[in-house]
Amino acid sequence: MGMAEHLARGVKEAAALLAQAEYCIALTGAGVSTESGIPDFRSPGSGLWTRLDPMFFTIESFKADPAQFYRLGQELFAVIKEAEPNDTHIVLGELEKRGLVKAIITQNIDGLHQKGGARRVLEIHGSLESASCIGCGCRVSMEGVIGAVLDGILPPRCSRCGDPLKPDIILFGEAMPPVYQEALLEAEKADCIMVIGSSMQVSPANLLPRYSENLIIINREPTVYDSRARVVLRGNTAPVMRSLLDELELCYGL
């Protein structure tokens, strides 16, 4: 069986699982946004961690030198600010609208699921929509913070107390936000989980797929869950997701 035939067969199997599921959720990672121009973290040659040391993105490093954090991150912030949703985001938004996906749990901070039409998005690693002062806790829109960074103000500071502003994203060494508990409850309820664009190497997000026996994996590279997945679809997520939606419409009228 050729690669195209194997993929087509996998799409049919994934559509059948999704059509039969009573409570399907999606778990997405950085791979869903690469086709929007946002680099992932681990792809050889292009991943963010091949160019930047993850140690600069710990909470300890931020507190020690917030200017360095923004200096290293400003390119990524600029890319995310201009990014538009691709077919993966749009299809997931459509599947949610049709009731086929009940929630989208994402490791991403780019907000593209919401821009793609999704409404129930659990951002377990935080979001670049806002930033908070590490001193007084004052919260502000991230738009102004990114603007300040792009203007060379490093680090942006709180207008109330003068302490640095930190994006409301989860850095290495920080506790998971309360929304992670909600994500756990969603995973426990799910009878089908689609893992899309994630290598499943980051804990504790990589614990969520274990709650369902019906796993659909859509990713360019192998994951630790491939051996127990019902369906593994290897490739870029956007064309696979578009094919999945076409199959659901053609064969199930969904």
Provide the annotated active-site residues.
125
Q: Using only the alpha carbons of the chain, give its radius of gyration.
A: 19
**How would DSSP label each residue in 54-92?**
GGGGBHHHHHH-HHHHHHHHHHHHHHHHH----HHHHHH
Whether 183 and 124 have beta carbons less than 8 Å apart is answered as: yes
